[in-house]
Chain A
Amino acid sequence: MINTRLMFCFLVLTTLVVIKESVSIHKNRQSFFFLKNYNLNSTFDTCVHSTKRLQRKNAKGQNILSTDTTKEGVKVLNRNKNTDFEKVIDRQITKESNTTLNEILKGVDYKNILVKENYINPRPFVNIDKKKNMSTDFNIYFENNKLEEYILDIPISKEELCMLYEDMFLGRMFENLVAKLYYVKKIKGFVHLYNGQEAISSGEQIPIAVGLGYSILYKKEFNITDNQAINIFNNLTKGNVLDTKGGVENVNVTSNTSGDDDSGSNKENVPDVDVVVCFLGDGTSNIGQFFESLNLSSIYNLPILFIIENNNWAIGMEGSRSSSNDLMNNYNKSMAFNIDTYKVDGNDVLNIYKLAKKKINEIRKRQSGPVLIEAITYRTRGHSLADPDELRISEEKVSWKNRDPITILSSYMKKQNIVQDSYFDDVKKN
């Protein structure tokens, strides 16, 4: 008696459970239709998003979508695909699908839709006599040693080497003197020093000085002649704001003229500016004004040379935290505007000098449009004298001291036996 009753209860319960489960499966099968958009067939195992959705639970603790996540369950779903609706949905999920869209796109050649010849471009102000050497890369990396091949043909004389050395040495001495005076409180305000980066300014200023040009400087930099340096020095000690040139602030102005035209014009009173050089840092290469000026210089073919002095630090912001581009690769920003870009080792004066000479000559002869050069350097001091410089690791600083531009140049000069050893001592005294 008890057994039969037990058996009866057992049977009733099992039937109820079976019925309940079958009903629930049937109900929930209908809710699977929208899941087909998630491409269950091929990416089921790897689609984390959809599995998490499937595991969501309501207030009672039951799965909102009570799906069978095993492979057998999927096989059950796949078995009854007889209707047209399901076939269509399946086609959309698989990779062979989207036939309609692919058929339309097959015959289209994207590159030739927008051909430049069909558009009336804004006419450039400078007619460039560009003979593009198609074999050279668009961008030259110093890591791949292609830069040296590119600038092999430019000679440097002994006098130029000495001029470069003296220029850099003067700069280093000047900056150290300014620091001393600041600590004795003879100079007030902000003092941003340039130790470690002298190669860039020396390498660029000298080719410019040969002809006319405007250069807007980023940090406080010295001028080439001794007299001018002494003038600045005097002005700083007197605290005479009006006479300081080469401003202390971060000036990033696209100063260029539309008055550069071919010879034979009647513009005698307009100064014929050959080339403009604009220095900026890696931090300011993120500002909107920079991109606008790249765009404008590219469409008008302006004779401008941008130089990014990349020392990877903007006061306390490291490059990877502030810029979304790859580390130490700020040149990508100008490639988007079809500007010739180059990347250089900023502590090697000779490379910078040769490249700058070559590019500035090309721009002067109007054989090239705007150019961007990215120079990788390091600043040995902090951003300013008020900067404690705690965020940079000491190992980093030590490793870069080995790449000091002055020592690199002096060791090169010694090896090549260009000058005698006494030359360096003489420079120190004078």
Chain B
Amino acid sequence: MAAVSGLVRRPLREVTVRDAINQGMDEELERDEKVFLLGEEVAQYDGAYKVSRGLWKKYGDKRIIDTPISEMGFAGIAVGAAMAGLRPICEFMTFNFSMQAIDQVINSAAKTYYMSGGLQSVPIVFRGPNGASAGVAAQHSQCFAAWYGHCPGLKVVSPWNSEDAKGLIKSAIRDNNPVVVLENELMYGVPFEFPPEAQSKDFLIPIGKAKIERQGTHITVVSHSRPVGHCLEAAAVLSKEGVECEVINMRTIRPMDMETIEASVMKTNHLVTVEGGWPQFGVGAEICARIMEGISEKLVLEYSQAVVNIMYLNTYSIKRLKARSGQTTTLNLSCVQFPGCSCCSCHWC
């Protein structure tokens, strides 16, 4: 079966993100009969990106449901099922299609607990690939972290590696609130080492805690989802030149873990945020604003630079930062060459 084959095929305990999500969903489907998965091409096609491979053969038609192309319709069905007591996982083929159903996600799912005075909870999970993929053009490359992170009542989660993916999807399914899981299509095929704790059936990652992937002293780099890998590569390059970066993997976007970030910035006095979304009103802008309004009085600010937003960090811009390493600034660097470019990974910046 798919859940086991992931381990058998890779004796070095390297598991791809795809197999990790598959394992997580498989274990939760087995554990609780109320959990079911619905989406486009999840059953007989084994998933549009083969994430739900083998699940239909194991659980059948009642648990793994193919739907027609009506996002608002099946998102509404999922929300209704959650209100009635089941625990659905609603898969969007990409989160760009969730815009068709955004009324159901926000008005029907997120606001119901508040509007009913705590009486009606909606234990639903919306998952799917988010952000840029390889050459899929503007309409299929949007990052929805900022859109969903704005809405109270939702929890928004963004895993990077396979350990993140498995732990977060399990805790999302067990959570009684509506959770949006923003995966990344380009990470599905990337293998990561799986620690032994992650192979247990009760491996959960708490929603609302960030992880420090790499310790450092000179500069804090914060990101979520695929750019975390880029940050770690850049950090490796810079460490040869003597600059130690502290890389933080946010893991959750709402509720955001500001304590980790603040503690790190107190230590280093430098901050860079990296994400795949657009700069204005984005996740990086929110982090910078909170740092500026929060602990900036405790830091020694020699001068504050205007916020310039980043979309795609490369090592050259970090080198520029290093040249100014004597100054204490908070920068959210951006790809200034193409402001407003929807990142289709063309690598121009």
A interface residue numbers (CB < 8 A to B): 122-123, 125, 214, 241-243, 245, 247, 253-259, 261, 266-267, 269-271, 273, 276, 288-289, 292-293, 295-296, 299
Contacts and interface: CB of A to CB of B under 8 A. Distances in A.
Nearest to A292: B73
Interface stretch (B21-29, B76-84, B284-292): B76-84
Contacts of B202: none
Interface stretch (B64-72, B141-149, B209-217): B64-72
Q: Which of B33, B70, B84 has the most CB of A within 10 A?
A: B84
A214 B118 CA distance: 18
Given A269-B85, A273-B84, A258 B36 contact: yes
Interface string B262-285: 000000000000000000000000
Contacts of B79: 253, 255
Contacts of A292: 70, 72-73, 76
A247 B115 contact: yes
A264 to B, nearest CB: 14
B60 to A, nearest CB: 9
B117 A243 contact: yes
| 10 closest Cβ pairs, A-B complex | A255-B80, A292-B73, A292-B70, A242-B117, A257-B84, A254-B76, A296-B73, A289-B72, A123-B61, A257-B81
A258 B78 CA distance: 10
Contact of B68 (A123, A214, A295): A295
Given A242-B114, A242-B115, A296-B68, 4 more contacts: A255-B84, A258-B81, A259-B86, A276-B80
A40 to B, nearest CB: 47
Contacts of A254: 73, 76-77, 80
Interface residues of B, number: 29
26 contacts: A122-B66, A125-B62, A214-B83, A214-B84, A242-B115, A242-B118, A243-B117, A247-B115, A253-B80, A253-B104, A254-B76, A254-B80, A255-B79, A255-B84, A256-B81, A257-B81, A258-B86, A269-B34, A269-B85, A270-B84, A270-B86, A271-B85, A289-B72, A295-B70, A296-B68, A296-B70
Interface in B230-273: none
Contacts of B85: 257, 259, 269-271
Contact of A288 (B72, B81, B86): B72
A238 B15 CA distance: 57
Contacts of A269: 34, 85
B155 to A, nearest CB: 21
Contacts of B72: 288-289, 292
Contacts of A259: 34, 81, 84-86
Contacts of B84: 214, 255-257, 259, 270-271, 273
A143 B66 CA distance: 41
B74 interface: yes
B76 A253 contact: yes
A243 B33 CA distance: 32
Contacts of A288: 72
B345 interface: no
Contacts of A125: 62
B74 to A, nearest CB: 7
A249 to B, nearest CB: 9
